[in-house]
Amino acid sequence: MNSISPHEFLAIAEVKDDSGTAAATGYTTLLNFVRASVSANHAKELSAALDDPAAARNLRELIRRYAAEALSGQSYDLSEVTEKIYQDMAGLGILTQYLRSPNVEEININSYDAVEIIYHDRTEYLLGADAFPSPQAAIDVIRRMIRMGGKLIDAQSPLVDSFIGSGTRINAAIPPVVPAERGVSASIRKQSRSCITREELIKAGTATGDMLDFLTICLSNGVSVGLCGGTGSGKTTLQSFILNEYIHHCDNPNTRIFTAEDSQELTLLKYDAVNDRPARVVSMLTQEAPTRITISDLLKAALRHHPSLIVPAEVRGPEVMQAIAAGQSGHTILTSFHADGAKDGYRRLVSLCRMGETTLTDEMLLSECVGAWPVMAFAKQLKDGTRRIVEIFEATGQKNGRVTGNMLYSLKITETKRDERGLVKEVAAHHERVGNISPRLYGRLRDNGVSEDELHRLFPDAKGADSL
């Protein structure tokens, strides 16, 4: 760390005394004493040193001095105490090491004294003394995190969505939304900033090579793809992978990708080393009031950038209609949203369309969604924590308000293994190809440049309309 950031200075200056609460401890009293001493005696000095590379060292030295004064005559590790107080005053407290760890996927704060640290294969808990020392200490850390995303959380705005840097989202609530004695409720989701590889996805059992190849081929040859699933099912990771494969494999040198996100979570290549060319990606983010910019606004702007592929990273409402309109104007669309199955994904899209102003019937909307996303993949996090593509479905139309088409790939669960406590420790499963693409999709991919050898490798019994 080279200097004190503005959010650190504000954290020091915003002294909160909760030593009189039932949760107060010896450490809480110490923390409050050091914070009050620094704020009262050195705020002006620290403010002037916001851009001074030596400021962080100065702050730690001040903390060391006041801590030593308060703990005079006691046995303690001064370096350890200094670092802990520094993190609670100006850093992110107990969360710091977990936010830095590449192995942590999610952090859930149920209350100031109950924190869940979620890894790929396990969940750990910080309870009681191992969690935050008090409700106010938890609130202070959450305020600093929210401030990093340029937002504020307070009694007037007690429920806030924000982000930390690139790829980490936080939804947090403080009193009065949360009972005062609990302090904070928050969900912090991290996205890996490294590009996941085909081999890693196959090894993890997320999908087979053929499934990943099929999704890449569709996107690279003008066939739009929808990715659906629940929270934590791996949609963003899969989306990033497919987009990077698109960058590598699209044979049009003029290809341009336009992404629209609420916060930057997609991990995309900046340079295509395979083809020795820059990755042509335009990325834009939404913005909340007072200058509100929505996904729909960004989709309208996308058309002016002449993209080949438009990526509204996640749709949650009537912007689906805007995405459909973009697809009808000759653009390929990749998006994700929440649904409980590949076929159910189309019902969900119709529901999202209904959130806007439309006079179309459900049948007409369903036909529009089928035309916009002929291929739908459904991902799910299983009980053992693994994330799998469960289904890939090709939609061919609708009949009596129900989507029709071909299930192409499916995950077959063969056994659920449990430990001695009855908890699921492993879900044994494998993927199977269970159908063939339609003659229409076969012809569309072939006409757009996919070799028949490649199509027959993926779907040996598939045929074009001219072969029937």
CATH of the domain at 113: 3.30.450.90
Task: Report if residue 312 sits inside a domain.
Answer: yes
Q: Is there a single domain that holds both residue 415 and residue 294?
A: yes
Establish how many alpha carbons lie within 13 A of residue 295's alpha carbon, considering only the half-sphere containing its beta carbon.
Answer: 22
Reported as a single tens digit per residue, the pLDDT across 7-31 is 444 444 444 444 433 334 577 788 8
Task: Report if residue 450 sits inside a domain.
Answer: no
- Indicate whether 34 pLDDT > 80: yes
Q: Is there a single domain that holds both residue 271 and residue 387?
A: yes
Q: Which of 190, 206, 224 is the last residue of a domain?
A: 190
Q: How far apart are CA 60 and CA 225, in angstroms?
A: 52
Q: Is there a single domain that holds both residue 43 and residue 178?
A: no
Q: Residue 148: name the closest of 109, 86, 83, 92 by CA.
A: 92
Total residue count of the chain as it appears in this document:
468
Q: pTM (2 decimals)?
A: 0.78
* Number of structural domains in the chain: 3
Q: Is there a single domain that holds both residue 274 and residue 378?
A: yes
Q: Is there a single domain that holds both residue 181 and residue 203?
A: no
Q: Is there a single domain that holds both residue 313 and residue 329?
A: yes
Mean pLDDT, rounded, for 64-77: 85
pLDDT-above-90 percentage for the chain? 54
Q: Which of 155, 190, 225 is the last residue of a domain?
A: 190
Residue with tokens 């995190």: 145
Q: Is there a single domain that holds both residue 406 and residue 277?
A: yes
Q: Which of 190, 207, 232 is the last residue of a domain?
A: 190
Which domain covers residue 216, as residue numbers?
198-435
Asked if 140 and 17 count as a contact pair (C-beta separation under 8 A), the reply is no
Reported as a single tens digit per residue, the pLDDT across 394-452 is 999 999 999 999 999 999 999 999 999 998 999 999 999 999 999 999 999 999 999 99
* Mean model confidence pLDDT for the chain: 86
pLDDT-above-70 percentage for the chain? 90
Q: How far apart are CA 218 and CA 2, in angstroms?
A: 47
Query: Residue 271: what pLDDT?
Result: 87
Q: Is there a single domain that holds both residue 38 and residue 175?
A: no
Q: Is there a single domain that holds both residue 173 and residue 236?
A: no
- Indicate whether 216 pLDDT > 80: yes
